[in-house]
Each structure stands twice: as structure tokens, then as C-alpha cells.
Amino acid sequence: MKINTEQRNGALVVHFKGEIDHSVTLEAREQLDELIDRGGFDYMVIDLRDISFMDSAGIGLIMGRYKKLRLDKKLLYLRNVTPPVDKILKISGLYKLVNVI
């Protein structure tokens, strides 16, 4: 999985590309946490347009970043959720915590 970021109007937009499973989450978590710690944004948006596969490891990754951002009183949003990822997000109840924009 690759992660690209851009900052726009107070948002840190994180673009995921590839497959999210347990083999990639540790590295992704470190990259994202470094960005969160660096700050300089008001809220984070994770763009899932180019995610070809995601299992519960992705749920853990998103949930963990939601919790970390919440400590800084910042919100996390998702964008461009594909149908297979939407199914996993619904099953896990993640939409109760994170909104799609």
C-alpha cells in the first residue's frame, strides 16, 4: 500500500492506494501518526478511492487514527468509499464514529 498526502484548506488529505491488510498496517500507522504529531491541520480526510482490498486490519488502522486525532480534538473523515470497503465499514459499525464527506 502507498500513502500520499496533501494539505488543503485546513484538511490533511491522506490518499491510500493498494491493499490494506495486517501486513501493511504497522508501517501505515507509523506514517500516519508522524503526520498527526507534526500537526498544522484542522482535520484529517482518508481517501479510499484506490483501495482494492481491505479487511478488519483496515478497520483497526482507521479506528486507531480516529482515537489519536480525538485526543487533539480533531475529527477524521473518510472519502470515496468503494462498495467492498463500505460493506466492511458497515459490519464493523465504524460509521458510528467516522463520517463520510
Partner 1 sequence: MENRMELIIAATSLNESFARATVGAFTAQLDPDIETLSDIKTAVSEAVTNAIVHGYDSDNEKDVVLKCAISDGTVTITVEDGGKGMSDPEKCQEDGFTTAADDERSGFGYTIMKSLMDEVTVVSEVGRGTVVTMKKKIR
- Binding-site ranges for partner 1 (CB under 8 A): 19, 21-23, 25, 29, 53-57, 59-61, 63-64, 83-84, 87-88, 91-93
Give the shortest CB-6-to-partner 1 separation in angstroms. 25
Q: Name which of 11 and 57 has its Cβ closer to partner 1.
A: 57
Q: Name which of 11 and 63 has its Cβ closer to partner 1.
A: 63
Please state, in angstroms and rounded to a whole number, the distance separating the CA atoms of residues 30 and 1. Answer: 13
Whose CA is closest to 82, among 51, 46, 45, 55?
A: 51
Give the shortest CB-14-to-partner 1 separation in angstroms. 16
For residue 90, the surrounding DSSP H or E stretch is: helix 83-92
Q: Name which of 8 and 34 has its Cβ closer to partner 1.
A: 34
Give the shortest CB-77-to-partner 1 separation in angstroms. 19
3 state DSSP class of 69: helix
What's the grid cell of residue 63?
Answer: 479506528
Q: Name which of 7 and 95 has its Cβ closer to partner 1.
A: 95
Angle between helices 22-38 and 56-71 (to 10 degrees): 20
What's the grid cell of residue 58?
Answer: 483496515
Give the shortest CB-44-to-partner 1 separation in angstroms. 16
